[in-house]
Structure 1
Amino acid sequence: MAESRKNGIRPLVIKVGGSLAGTGRLGEMLAMLSAAQIPIVIVPGGGPFADAVRSLQREINFNDAVAHRLAMLAMEQMAEWIASQCSGVKVARSLDEISDSIMDGHIPVWAPLRMIGDDESVSADWSVTSDSLAVRLAELLDARLILLKSVDVADGLSAEELAQQGVVDGFFPEIVARAGVSWSIFGPAADEAMAAILAGEGAD
């Protein structure tokens, strides 16, 4: 844990759902994140790159363990795209790179494969998406997690209920219970609250 808390950094981990790309909100959300006044780490969803992995798995028939790694590469492709769109956002592939990026005044966007490609605490199948991987990063950083989603969800729903509704992936309830990570889901109706957090109001 010492590496993840180097120089006292305890960033807020923010997972940006790939589905935002299809709703027209992705650019708006990235602009909001780029203006953050607190240390944050962006975890990208796989978006259309992950959809391509699903299609290719059907077409050329590889197993779920391979698909899991390719889906993490899809997240890395989204990370590269996000960094290309946002000034001051840098791709980070390790806890050190995350800390160094923040210390340099940048916002790291996480490329996960090097860090957790062989992490046995995470199932290597489609029950795991960027939702659960974001929890794993928050666990490693001892950080709070916010999932930005394209839909609003009712207050007070458990992780199990959210998984049953398809809002989060199937592994999410297990990993948040194990990791003890503090997490929230913000949909379109929570943009004002999200902006306040990024301005340093209420983030701890």
Structure 2
Amino acid sequence: MDGILIVKFGGSSVSPPDLVRWVRALEESDRPLVLVPGGGPFADTVRQYQSQVGFDDDAAHHMAILAMEQFGRALVSLGDKLLPCATEEAISSALAEGRIPVWMPTKLVLRACEIGRDWSTTSDSLAAWLAGRFPGATLCLIKPIDLPEGRDIAAISAAGVVDSSFEHLLHPATRVHFAGPADLALAGKRLAAGIVPGREVATGHGDELIGEAAQ
């Protein structure tokens, strides 16, 4: 069986109908899947009030992780198989039960000294970090845009599509896919067939750019 699929899903730019459609598609997955929520509008609020209130980056980092948990709780309520999980053991247990763990990152992230405690580390990097803790895992980042062909992780990072910590926290063995709005229509069928939605990109660790995922 293929390794675990880690899917990072942010809600800031996804319309409510598409949000529900993505959740339904993800629940069709034929391979073990872990859902990493973005901070969505909850993290946007942290950014907004940091400039107004003046709390430091360490506090903002903690608050943004809690924002991921807020969005994660919302996602759990939209699905039938989704289950909030805070630890690797809880994730593995949920997968063994045929559930889809929704990662609640606070417990693991705040004790990981290799993770920066500022805005250079967002939910994209945290998803990459989590994927590295499961040997053979594949990472799929669902984005509100469709990326052009021929881009590698370095170019994607330079364009601001992922944060500046992403490459540092990405394990060399983790394969990375990006999925966008154009992938939604067939996402459920592809996941049910064990195919990762979107396009695989070169990670800068000696990989070749593979292009679109198999049909």
Query: Which TM bucket (shorter chain)?
Result: 0.7 to 0.9
Whether contact under 8 Å (2:29, 2:192) holds in the other structure is yes
Q: Which residue of the partner structure matches residue 168 of structure 2?
A: 174
Residues 34-67 of structure 1 deviation map (CA, whole Å, 9 limit, x = unaligned)? 2222210000010011011111211211111111
Range 113-122 or range 73-82, more displaced:
113-122
Counterpart secondary structure, 1:71? helix
Q: Matched residues in 2 for 1:9 and 1:118: separation?
A: 29
2:35 to 38, 42, 53: 42
Aligned to 2:120: 127
1:14 is paired with a residue whose SS is strand
Name 1:4's counterpart in structure 2.
none
| Aligned 8 A contact 1:20 1:26 in 2 | no
Name the CA distance, whole Å, in 2 between partners of 1:51 and 1:175: 23
Hey, what's the Cα distance between the residues in 2 that align with 1:20 and 1:147? 14
Structure-2 change in CA distance of 1:53 and 1:179 (3 Å):
farther
Once residues 127 and 3 of structure 2 are traced to their aligned partners in structure 1, the CA distance between those partners, rounded to angstroms, is 15
Structure 1 gaps of 5+ residues are 1-7
Kindly indicate whether residue 153 of structure 2 is the aligned counterpart of residue 159 of structure 1. Answer: yes
The match for 2:205 is none
TM-score normalised by the chain length of structure 1:
0.88
SS in 2 for 1:74: helix
Structure 1 residue 186 corresponds to structure 2 residue 179 = yes
1:190: how far off?
A: 2.3
Q: TM-score, normalised by structure 2?
A: 0.83
CA contact (8 A) 1:148 1:187 kept: yes
Query: Counterparts in 2 of 1:22-171, with a 5 A limit?
Result: 22=15, 24-142=17-135, 143-171=137-165
1:12 and 2:10 are equivalent in the alignment: no
Decide whether the 8 Å contact of 1:18 with 1:46 is kept in 2: yes
What is the identity, as a one-letter code, of the residue corresponding to 1:26? L
Consecutive unaligned residues in structure 2, runs of 5 or more: 197-215
CA deviation string 1:129-173 (max 9, x = no partner)? 110000000001121100011100012312221122221112112
What SS class does the counterpart of residue 76 from structure 2 fall into? helix
Greater helix percent: which structure?
1
Count residues with an aligned counterpart: 195
State the superposition RMSD in angstroms. 1.9
Q: Tell me which of the two structures has the higher relative contact order, counting C-alpha pairs closer than 8 angstroms and 6 or more residues apart.
A: 1
